[in-house]
Structure 1
């Protein structure tokens, strides 16, 4: 579903632009060195927009130095404090995330909007299941999709009444069916770009499952302009998960996709170890490649015929193949180093072709 275009620094979202990957630092924003280091790690992993918490004005004052040290757009995450929002804007924020209802009344909302207008930056508004008012919860009997929609529309209308339309919308829940229903419905009610996410998704394992189901469903419906996979832990893992979701939904043609078999009684080598090693080895390669790690030569090259490179294990040896054609046979202990070497050679060739 086509939405309006919004510019976040040098990155455009909406209006058919590629879905972008976001994450959020978990450092103290006042710790400029630590925050910049984490953002650099996120950039290397493939993060395209990064958000930092701004709990107070002092944190906002760090934005200028942080922004000067990174190359991706920097977003300020604001709760309750209008002065912190204005300070973040004045110190170079490329976007702010606020809940207009908790900023502190019309006068403060207008002050924040005026600052955003002067800086020509957008505002992200929305709702999540934990931020709904008691009245809305009581009216709808809980944090339902309809409750989320009522809340987010009110936040949108607050900005629109202030003559501000450079808006990005999010509508999150930790409940996957509720989250999907809410996004599907809001997509029909507004044409602002949609920021996808499952809030409070949990630690990596469950967060990836919840996010893949929710965001995958929405992306296949044509809904979503930018996304964040929320993970309790290292935010770099959020970026890897987001990249994999986009690749699996067929909307991101970059990076390495690992194909590996589930193994069976024919398998005589440690496929899990090889697949995990290759996955880690290739995680920051941006060239689109398919690498297959198959347990045996019975079906390996045939089943993984679409793979650019692959291995099929045997008893004490392995076959290296490309697009189903066997290239060479190597000793079991040479499988991993030889596959790594061939991957690097292929990446170098593809880079020269660009």
Structure 2
């Protein structure tokens, strides 16, 4: 015996209410850098409104239980889509889908009062929702990542598109029910799929936001907050890993220790904000010289460390020379720096020994007049 559609709709409303509370709490407590959460939190609220209006069939006016109920359902899906766009750093979406929502309001009103047709109304709405979910799925496929939360949302959207296409096809083939509240197996499956979609999309939003927070916390734990380079712990970890790799494959790295010359005088003369700007400019220029597999980290204060995998002494000195040239191009924030280079000497070499040689070479560069590179 099929379930009563009103019971399934009530279950959908309960799910929407619960997920709305969860997402609104997350919106208030998660960092503002997690964009789109406000839209995702609004979606289940609109879906809750839709279920409340749908459940009033036979007791409230058709404008509320048909026209506005379907509009709330469409707007919930639209707002969720806009939230996904904001979450992934994209704008837009409102002009197109806001216009579609306005047009659908007129069409549903016409098919409810002027030329009443349950079958045509359901067919148009199912097709419209399928197109909206299709646009959402296409956007996530092009711009989303490959993690489990993103894949979950994509799968839910794809499955519900199939349900909507099946719904549309059944109407075209003349197998539609005569009323949304008819307790048929097909109606039960359709409404049950809607309830499950509302729940899974809300869970997907929770997982996406939580995954983003985790990623940001990992970034903060490994990067310097000012220069966005690796912090000391992270760059040392990269060095240890590279030396382990070098011992297995026989080709080792070079390490460069860099120190900005007379940086204390820069802070004392121009202030710490100017000094911070110099550091940011220095790291941006230095990073532009490095290869994708090289690593730049802040060792402490105005001292930085560069790890150059599979790099001999001559190549490391060439990189150092390019850094010197780039920081003497006439930019207001250009600075001078001394660089000490140490190259891996074989399996017996250790990170501590390399750092000691690089540090000694750095002080040699300073003793020789600064703004130059020495190798140790």
TM-score range, shorter chain: under 0.3
Structure in which a larger fraction of residues adopt strand: 1
Q: TM-score, normalised on structure 1?
A: 0.26
Q: TM-score, normalised on structure 2?
A: 0.25
Structure in which a larger fraction of residues adopt helix: 2
